Amino acid sequence: MPTTKLARLALEDGTVFHGRAFGGSLKDFEGAGEVVFNTAMCGYQEALTDLSYTGQILTMTATEMGNYGIAPEDIESAAPCVAGFVVRELSAIVSNQRATRSLSDWLADAGIPAIEGIDTRALVRRLRMGGAMRGVISSVSLADASDLDLVARARAIPSMAGANLAAKVSPRCSGKYEEALGEWAPRGGLFADSKPAPAGRPAGARFQVAAIDCGAKRNIYRHLVERNCDVHFLPHTATAAEIRALRPDGLFISNGPGDPAVVQTVIETLREVAGEVPTFGICLGHQLLALALGASTWKLKFGHRGANQPVRNLLTGRIEITSQNHGFCVDEVSLRAAGGEPTHVHLNDGTLAGFRHTTKPIFSVQYHPEASPGPHDSAYLFDVFVQMMASRAPIGAAEMERAQAALAAV
């Protein structure tokens, strides 16, 4: 059952919300970060373990959370990584045969502070109007810290702009990811009945993918493994020589947290190897690829976070409902000047959601085709990457249409 311990959420603009504490620890807790919101109706486990939320206090707009508990198979990293969690109502029961524990107990063990019982509609409206804000969740009593004290603490938090958080969450050493999708594997798509193999190699040979891991979600790697890829993940400090030593068929750059413009180690490496092998980027990886080519990025007012974001594929004309989680965006004008061509656009605000290079085998998207959580509309992009590795040529509209149509026919 939810606790009766009081907690507060204080924003840098002076707003303070009063609610009830859960998660955290048995003692007083306090968590600080950039307050953002996610419009997905479910998927709190995947969101809470998405390393892209590092340094952020996550607010869910759906009214009730925790009703299906925690299932270990559904998490995207080793543990919850958010700075705090905000919900309207924490479910008093857990109803799910796969669940092993409650959301509150799970967050408590991880030391993640959380608050329920506040008006999340009012909070989200304030974030939409004023933009993402720095904030503090605290269960410390009023006697020990006034509302003004908490607001002052919120204002002292470093800005997300200029924060190199990818360096914080990237793995410290390289390794190989081997888990496939298993029972969650798609029942259609280009490779539903066959396993693709690299050209010029024996049947059954696997594509070798070097993955620069800036905080990757597990389900991204599962999709690649499912499509006959050996995924060799590397820390964000990986050099061009280390990538070349793997002799990969393709290069993948993962999602991750923070400001892409300050992840210079990855940008410099990508600038050196750009176009040597087919390359695919997702979210932060999309931004880093654009920066390496010479484009620029900028911070969105409140970002795109949710599993219901509409995107148009400009090459096929099809609409995708996508899962997204980012606070920065690639500038389209600078991308075109750097040799990039937009392939996808976000229909809510017209921002760039994907691009390909006009002469090099490079493409990327701002959103999450692995759909964890979210719809499966964009899973075809993994097929596109495999096609590009097989042909070792820039992706074309025909290949994109073929992969998207195969998935849509399921």
pLDDT digits (tens, 9 = 90+) for 111-149: 999 999 999 999 999 999 999 999 999 999 988 999 999
Neighbours of 277 (CB within 10 A): 22
Question: Same domain, yes or no, for 134 and 59?
Answer: yes
Q: How many CA atoms lie within 13 A of 200 on its CB side?
A: 5
Residues 24 and 59 grouped into a single domain: yes
Q: Answer yes or no: is 92 within a domain.
A: yes
Q: What is the pTM of this model?
A: 0.95
Q: Which of 286, 304, 368, 376 is catalytic?
A: 368
Distance, C-alpha 163 to centroid of its chain: 16
Residues 251 and 346 in one domain: yes
**Closest by Cα among 258, 272, 247 to 53:** 258
> Would you say residue 161 lies in a domain?
no
The answer on pLDDT for 261 being more than 60 is yes
Mean pLDDT of the chain, nearest integer: 94
**Are 11 and 126 in contact, with CB atoms under 8 Å apart?**
yes
pLDDT at 1 over 50: no
Verify that 223 and 334 share a domain, yes or no.
yes
Q: 174 is written with which tokens? A: 């390289």
In the predicted model, is pLDDT for residue 68 greater than 80? yes
> Which of 155, 186, 211 corresponds to the end of one domain?
155
Q: How many domains does the chain have?
A: 2
Q: How do residues 319-333 score in pLDDT, each as one tens digit? A: 999 999 999 999 999
Q: Residue 385: inside a domain, yes or no?
A: yes
* Among 108, 83, 103, 113, residue whose Cα is nearest residue 20: 113
Q: Is residue 187 part of a domain?
A: yes
Active-site residue (options: 34, 320, 370, 399): 370
Domain boundary among 103, 136, 155: 155
Least confident of 1-10, 143-152, 263-272, 298-307: 1-10
Q: Is residue 1 part of a domain?
A: no
Among 207-221, 328-342, 396-410, the minimum mean pLDDT is found in: 396-410
Residue 170 sits in the same domain as residue 100: no
Q: Taking CA 300 as the corner, what is the angle to CA 321 and CA 261, rounded to the nearest 5 degrees? A: 110
Per-residue model confidence (pLDDT) at position 189: 76
CA distances from 350 to 205, 289, 297, 343, 354 (A): 41, 20, 15, 12, 12
| Inside any domain, residue 160 | no
Which member of 81, 214, 283, 329 is catalytic? 283
> Residues 187, 113: one domain?
no
Please tell me which residue, 187 or 231, carries the higher pLDDT value. 231
Give the pLDDT confidence of 17-47 residue by residue, as tens digits.
999 999 987 578 899 999 999 999 999 999 9
Across the range 173-193, mean pLDDT stands at 85
Query: What token pair was written down for 211?
Result: 């993955």
Known catalytic residue: 283? yes
CA distance 314 to 311: 9
Residues 17, 135, single domain; the answer is yes
Cβ atoms < 10 Å from Cβ of 129: 10
For tokens 């919120």, name the residue: 154
Q: What is the pLDDT of residue 209?
A: 98
Residues 55-72, mean pLDDT to the nearest whole number: 97
- Regarding whether 286 and 145 lie in a shared domain, the answer is no
Give the Cα separation of 49 and 168 in Å (integer). 15
Torsion over CA: 398, 324, 164, 301 (sign): positive
Q: List the CATH number of the domain containing 120.
A: 3.50.30.20
pLDDT for 410: 64
Domain that holds residue 212: 166-408
Confidence (pLDDT) at 409: 74
One domain for residues 16 and 57? yes
Q: Is 272 a catalytic residue?
A: no
Mark whether 178 and 228 lie in a shared domain.
yes
Confirm whether 21 is domain-assigned.
Answer: yes
pLDDT greater than 50 at residue 2: no
- Same domain? 370 vs 336: yes
pLDDT at 312 over 90: yes
- Is 214 noted as a catalytic residue in this protein? no
Same domain, 120 and 193: no
CB 163 within 8 A of CB 215: no
Single out the residue in 93, 124, 155 at which a domain terminates. 155
